[in-house]
Amino acid sequence: MLLIVLIGRNQGIRTMFSLILAGAVIYFIMMPLITKGKNPVLATTLTCAIIASSSLLIIVGPKRKTYSAILGTISGVIIASIIVIYAQERLHFSGLENAIAVDIIEATGEQLFDFKKLLLAGMLMGVLGVAMDGAIEVASSMEEIRRANPRIETAKLIGAGMTVGTDVLGTMVNTLLFAYFGLRLLLMLTVMSPDTELFVSPLGELLSVGVISAEIVRLLAGTIGVVITIPITALISGFLQTKRRSNARY
């Protein structure tokens, strides 16, 4: 915290406030909703929307680019939530694909939570930070482009935003993938190691193993959610910036 404030100064202070608020939202809103039996996927999606809105408003301020980034981020999270819900309908996860769920059952002797839906909810949390990052970069660049050329047409402005978005897309996806791979390094080593007979099945059967298919869904949902954030943010920002230009004429 001290380093963030010392290096970031005013922006660092805002960042600290946003982090504290995000932790409070998770602790006082998301967790109580889940422990009271509410749908964890819906609770997590709501939490992501609140955190995205509050964090961007605190860090960037109440501006049009902020609203564009908020809507783009929420859209990406919603797309990811639809994917994981559909995956559950087709793949029938038990929730025990998460090793921590197995540890909790072994320690308590009972299933305290809906581990199936908690598994899906956990898949969504990793999308939020990366989607926010990409959305605000696209929205900020589009606002600067409009300032430099107030007469730019909406289609050209959206195209410029998409160009910026495709440039940052590679680093966004890499960030998400490396974060997931870092958490699942042991699983990857186990699968790839020639000295273990734990996974000796053909590829088709290997992909149907619960823990493997759950990680594939996690990667797909997160990556698609992040990718979709770019065009949605560009579209929203393009129309909001054009509306601002139209209002300025009067």
The answer to whether 222 touches 125, Cβ cutoff 8 Å, is no
Render pLDDT for 114-169 as a digit per residue (tens, 0 to 9).
Answer: 888 888 898 888 888 889 999 999 999 999 999 999 888 999 999 999 999 998 88
Q: Binning pLDDT at 50, 70 and 90, where does residue 55 land?
A: very high
pLDDT at residue 197 is higher than 70: no
Average the pLDDT over 183-205 and give the result: 68
pLDDT at residue 99 is higher than 80: no
Write out the residue range of the structural domain in which residue 78 sits. Answer: 2-248
**Which has more confidence, 175 or 230?**
230
Residue 114: the pLDDT is: 83
Buried b (16+ CB within 10 A) or exposed e, 168-203: ebeebbebbeeebeeebeeeeeeeeeeeeeeeeeee
Q: Which amino acid is at 182?
A: G
The answer to whether 71 touches 227, Cβ cutoff 8 Å, is no
pLDDT at residue 194 is higher than 80: no
Residue 129: the pLDDT is: 85
Distance CA 46, CA 135 (A): 18
CA dihedral sign, ordered 92, 97, 98, 102: positive
Q: Across the chain, what does the average pLDDT equal? A: 87
Residue 110's contacts (CB-CB under 8 Å, 6 or more residues apart) are none
The secondary structure of 82-118 as a DSSP string is HHHHHHHHHH---STTSHHHHHHHHHHSS--S-HHHH
Number of domain units in the chain? 1
